[in-house]
Structure 1
Amino acid sequence: MSPAAAEPLTPERILETTEEVLRRFGPTKATVVDVARALGVSHGSVYRHFPSKAALREAVTDRWLAKSVVVLEEITSDPGASAESKLEAWLESLFAAKRHKAGDDPELFATYTVLLSEHSGVVDAHLTELTDQLSRIIAEGVAAGSLAAEDVPATARAVFHATGRFHDPQYAADWVSPTILTEFEAVTALLIRGLRA
């Protein structure tokens, strides 16, 4: 038995190993057998935790997306910040997280871009969570009288779509532009000015 196989096989350990396998082989070539081999177990052991390759890939995608949501939720829930400052910080944090992932681990980012396009259910839930956070921030601003929005959910979706160039993976190539931060700041300032009551 390999040292890796001596450790308990948990869903988290499988997901961590799957990330490494995806990084090494890419989403089209990586298999459950590759994951099992890296773990030192049979592929049947992996299937006991994840019933299919699709379920495993979906879980990896969900895990990856959830990491950025934690920081964004902390910003959303901050009781000491104004809605306007939360909105600015939230947009900055989302953009920074996406740039960080694309720049620091381009192979895995490319893998996740493929996975995101394949698993719309996971992506849809993630996008819903993000726009719900924006809705909460905007609603808080409306209640405080600092922001104006007649339809808060529609406004949140509009803000999300208006800033898409700074968080949608299809624009990742733009994120290394020397002017991207200036462009981001201009769009963010325009949106916040437009939302002020």
Structure 2
Amino acid sequence: MAATETLTAERILEATEEVLRRHGPAKATVVDVARALGVSHGSVYRHFRTKAALREAVTKRWLDRTSEALGGIADDASRDPESRLRDWLAALFAAKRRKAGDDPELFATYSVLAGEQVQAVGEHITELTGQLTRIVADGVAAGVFHGVDPATGARAVFQATGRFHDPGYVAEWSTPEADTDFEAAVDLLVRGLRA
């Protein structure tokens, strides 16, 4: 980067991702980020007051990518709620698998950062369960899902599918039975919502 005038929070976050990929969360520093950008570490601190704030922002950015991708499915009222629910859950599982498989080092780094950023992860889970709540509420309104409070049902679905999106289960995502187990879990949950 030639001049500090062009330094933006987004550019800092992009550089931070690269530094984290190269050095890992234990060794990555604000000085490394500044060096990658060709600026002083003080310039980075003007955008992010502390190293912790920078780590929180990069974690939130990573989580927001998933939320935004899933939001399109959740908000597509032109589709029936059951299909949206199935597609939303499949997209979440696919996104987590892709992140873990395409760049395992970065995924491991973000797993560490997510463990540090309890508030950001909590907000992410709230966003995701909010999306599920909208789908379930649409299903109740359409008469497809019965006898369930949408928020309670959404939380139950999210928790029941944790094996397919919680990073603690990453080793199971590539097993031969993972897809079959996922489909069976989703089928069971959908049948429960329709009952």
TM-score, normalised via structure 2 length:
0.97
Q: Which residue of 1 aligns with 2:75?
A: 77
Cα gap change, 1:193 to 1:150, in 2 (>3 Å): closer
1:5-44 matches, within 5 Å, as 5-6=2-3, 8-44=6-42
- Residue identity in the other structure for 1:88: R
Q: Which residue of 1 aligns with 2:153?
A: 155
Give the C-alpha shift of residue 154 in structure 1.
Answer: 1.3
Identity of aligned residues (%): 65
1:143 aligned to which of 138, 141, 150: 141
Give the C-alpha shift of residue 14 in structure 1.
Answer: 0.2
- What is the CA RMSD across the aligned residues, in angstroms? 1.0
Q: Which residue of 1 aligns with 2:91?
A: 93
- Residue identity in the other structure for 1:15: L
Q: Which residue of 2 aligns with 1:169?
A: 167
Give the C-alpha shift of residue 79 in structure 1.
Answer: 2.2
1:103-142 matches, within 5 Å, as 103-142=101-140
Structure 2 residue matching 1:148: 3-state secondary structure = coil
Give the unaligned 5+ runs of structure 1. none
Number of residues of Structure 1 aligned to a counterpart in Structure 2: 194
Structure 2 residue matching 1:33: 3-state secondary structure = helix
Cα gap change, 1:25 to 1:168, in 2 (>3 Å): same
Asked if 2 retains the 8 angstrom alpha-carbon contact of 1:75 and 1:86, the reply is: yes
Asked if 1 retains the 8 angstrom alpha-carbon contact of 2:148 and 2:193, the reply is: no
Asked if 2 retains the 8 angstrom alpha-carbon contact of 1:14 and 1:39, the reply is: yes
Asked if 1 retains the 8 angstrom alpha-carbon contact of 2:82 and 2:144, the reply is: yes
Q: Which residue of 2 aligns with 1:62?
A: 60
Asked if 1 retains the 8 angstrom alpha-carbon contact of 2:66 and 2:92, the reply is: yes
Return the alpha-carbon distance in structure 1 between the equivalents of residues 133 and 147 of structure 2: 10
Give the C-alpha shift of residue 192 in structure 1.
Answer: 0.5
Return the alpha-carbon distance in structure 2 between the equivalents of residues 166 and 42 of structure 1: 42
